Amino acid sequence: MEMTEFKELRERVILVGVQQVAGDDTEESVRELGELADTAGAEVVGQVIQRRENIHPGTYIGKGKIDEVRQLMWELDATGIICDDELSPAQMNNLQQELDCKVMDRTLLILDIFARHAVSREGKIQVELAQLRYRAARLAGLGNSLSRLGGGIGTRGPGEKKLEMDRRMIRTRISHLKKELEEVIRHRELIRSQRRKTEQKIVALVGYTSVGKSAIFRTLTGADVLEDAKLFATLDTTTRGIRISGSQEILLTDTVGFIRKLPHHLVDAFKSTLEEVCCADILVHVVDSASVQMEAQMHVVYETLRDLEADKKPVITVFNKQDLLLLEEKHGFRDYRAEQSISGSAHTGEGMEELRQAISDLLRAQKIYIERLYSYDKAGLIQLIRKKGELLEEKYQEDGIFVRAYVPESIYMSV
Ligand SMILES: Nc1nc2c(ncn2[C@@H]2O[C@H](COP(=O)(O)OP(=O)(O)OP(=O)(O)O)[C@@H](O)[C@H]2O)c(=O)[nH]1
Ligand SMILES: [Mg+2]
């Protein structure tokens, strides 16, 4: 089937969720789904949450609820629904038949947002692959659903490219993308091994989405990375070398925000963008201290870090957005899982110097302090210290060069 250009109508959607346990986080999850829909450019016109013990295997929600949704769609003039969990191909098909409208789910929505935010070649390939796999499994139901509006959520590929719908084309495209991905990964490995040789320390900013990681990255680097109120503004890790204090240099890397209920095959697809987290020496956990969901979000972050097997790394937690708090709310922010807690604001700059200092101190703790006198014919060793360690002082004396420095363990024995 050929996709032609359509003018994009603003979709009017109803959110549909299932609460399996009373008092669980379904409501918060559906609220977040609404934000995701907004990020994807749709208008949320209503919401339906069904309490039932199990998700209906055939239609996601029960028969009675379907009737209720159908009625609501009509009343609110909605163009589609978005379910808060990933629908099976059968559920998508059945709902589509029952409701005769565009049926979407959380995964389709997240993929759509990812598609528009992916920046790097690798990010784009990963997103397109995930989209095509999702699509290939649901071609029948999804095909009807997507042709209904001609465009909108679910039809956008990386770089606003329209997606093709034909099964055979999908297969060819997938195998092509896989080859390209291998190539990109090989290249990245190369760069990474070079980076390891120079012993540069890597500090990664992690945290829930929209907490201000990119804002802090910007403040620390002066770099122009995308900072956006929309969810998932950062899809690819961005890495910059910065001087953290004195002659101490680090690679600072910004990462994509974590989120609850990120579908598992997506976690896999995007692990590569989070690999920076796995090879980091220090994690800076950014928290939105103005959010009522702060604790829950921190929990999701630590769970995700455990999934990534990065939960043993030293953490500095920054309680960001302090500027949004009233004076009496600014008290005792402390994360007991972290080496250090800092209250700050990327916007006012509060706490940023403290953060630099904390990173610097932690890195120093991982290095060994030396005070030595080198004869002039050993000057080459000082060059090595300068390159791999942190030279604090060098004094040219009659009897040689006096050096104070922090050196990494790897060269401690040889200098
Ligand atoms: N008031 C206030 N707003 C902030 C602060 N830091 C970030 N923001 C705002 O919070 C929103 C999200 O900031 P980002 O830096 O894009 O958040 P992020 O954590 O990088 O988000 P993702 O990349 O989507 O994971 C933006 O609208 C920022 O302007 C802060 O210290 N104070
Ligand atoms: Mg960001």
How do the pLDDT tens digits run along the chain, 415 residues long?
Answer: 444 444 557 899 999 999 999 888 899 899 989 988 998 889 999 999 999 999 999 999 999 999 999 999 999 999 999 999 999 989 999 999 999 999 999 999 988 888 877 767 777 888 888 888 888 888 765 666 665 556 678 777 776 565 556 677 888 888 998 998 888 888 777 777 776 676 778 899 999 988 999 999 999 988 666 666 666 666 666 778 888 877 788 888 888 788 777 766 666 666 666 777 877 889 999 999 999 889 999 998 998 888 888 888 999 999 999 999 988 888 789 999 999 999 999 999 999 999 999 999 998 888 888 999 999 888 889 988 988 888 889 999 999 999 999 888 888 888 8
Counting from 1 in the atom list of ligand 1, the atom nearest the Cα of 254 is 20
Pocket test for ligand 1, best of 36, 116, 211, 330 (most atoms within 8 A of CB): 211
Helix residue ranges per DSSP H, 308-408: 352-365, 379-388
Helix residue ranges per DSSP H, 253-293: 264-278
| Dist. CA 95–CA 101, nearest whole Å | 8
Pocket test for ligand 1, best of 216, 217, 227 (most atoms within 8 A of CB): 227
User: Which CATH number applies to 12-169?
Assistant: 3.40.50.11060
Of the listed ligands, the closest to the CA of 209 is 1
Of the listed ligands, the closest to the CA of 220 is 1
Task: List the one residue out of 119, 50, 121, 60 whose CA is nearest residue 90.
Answer: 60
CB-count exposure of residue 236 (10 Å: 0-12, 13-18, 19+): buried
> What are 236's two structure tokens?
């690819």
**Which superfamily, per CATH, for 199-365?**
P-loop containing nucleotide triphosphate hydrolases (3.40.50.300)
* Biggest CA-to-CA distance, the chain: 92
Give the phi and the psi of residue 372 in degrees, each rounded to 5.
-145, 155
Q: Read off the DSSP letter of residue 291.
A: -
Tell me which residue has its CA closest to atom 14 in ligand 1: 212
| CATH code 3.40.50.300 region(s) in the chain | 199-365
**Cα of 296 from ligand 2 centre, angstroms:** 19
**Cα of 118 from ligand 2 centre, angstroms:** 12
> What are 1's two structure tokens?
């089937």
| CATH code 3.40.50.11060 region(s) in the chain | 12-169
